Chain A
Amino acid sequence: QQQVKQSPQSLIVQKGGISIINCAYENTAFDYFPWYQQFPGKGPALLIAIRPDVSEKKEGRFTISFNKSAKQFSLHIMDSQPGDSATYFCAARRGSTLGRLYFGRGTQLTVWP
C-alpha cells in the first residue's frame, strides 16, 4: 500500500517553463514532507522540505506548496533548466518512526533546451 501517491510518473518541460509535481497522502500523523532529487547513477539527495505548519516554502527556483486540509503537497520548479533533469521523489514521515520516510514512486523530469 503506497502511503504517498505521486504524479505524474514522467514530465517533459521546455527550458524556462514551470515544472509541477504533485503528491497526496492519507495519514494525518505525517509531520515532515521532503523532496529528494536523484540524478542518473547517483543516490537521492534532499532538495527541499516543509513541515505542515506553513503553506509554502521557497528555496531559489524550488517551491513546495502544502495544503493540509486536502492532504496534498507539490513541488514547483520555476524557470526549469536542462540541469534540473532528474528523478524527483516526494516523501513523508511520522514523528514517532525514528526518521523512517515513506517515498512516492518518483517523477522523471526532462527539461528540453
Chain B
Amino acid sequence: DAGVIQSPRHEVTEMGQEVTLRCKPISGHNSLFWYRQTMMRGLELLIYFNNNVPIDDSGMPEDRFSAKMPNASFSTLKIQPSEPRDSAVYFCASSPGQHTDTQYFGPGTRLTVL
C-alpha cells in the first residue's frame, strides 16, 4: 500500500506568493493532521481533521494559513501571502482513527520562502 503522499517535496518561492501544499492520506484513514517542523519550534500541530471536518485549528499561526479537506482522499494547506518565517518542513499525517492511535507521516514538503 502507498503511504501518505505529499506534493511538492520541495518548494522555493518568493515572499508574498501563494503556496499550496497537498496531501493524500492513506486510504481508509479517518483522521488527517498537518504539522510544521522547524529547528526552533520542533514539530507543531497546525490543524487536524476527522472525517473531513476540521476539529482543531488552534495551531494555525495566523490568517495567512488555511487548510481544506474536500474529500477523504485529499487535503491542502495554503499560505497566502507567504513570508520568510514560514520556511519549514510541512508534514501531513493520517491515522485510521478507530482502535488505533498510530499516525503515519508523509515524507514532508520542504518550503523555502525567499
CA distance A44 to B55 in the complex (A): 22
CB interface residues, B 54-101, toward A, < 8 Å: 55-56, 91, 93, 95, 97, 101
List chain B residues, Cβ under 8 A from A41: 107
Judging by beta carbons under 8 Å apart, are A43 and B101 in contact?
A: no
CA distance A42 to B97 in the complex (A): 23
Residues of B within 8 A of A (CB): 4, 31, 33, 42-43, 45, 48, 50, 55-56, 91, 93, 95, 97, 101-108
Judging by beta carbons under 8 Å apart, are A45 and B105 in contact?
A: yes
CA distance A100 to B31 in the complex (A): 9
Minimal beta-carbon separation of B2 from chain A (angstroms): 14
Judging by beta carbons under 8 Å apart, are A32 and B107 in contact?
A: no
A93 at the interface (CB under 8 A from B): yes
Judging by beta carbons under 8 Å apart, are B43 and A99 in contact?
A: no
List chain B residues, Cβ under 8 A from A89: 42-43
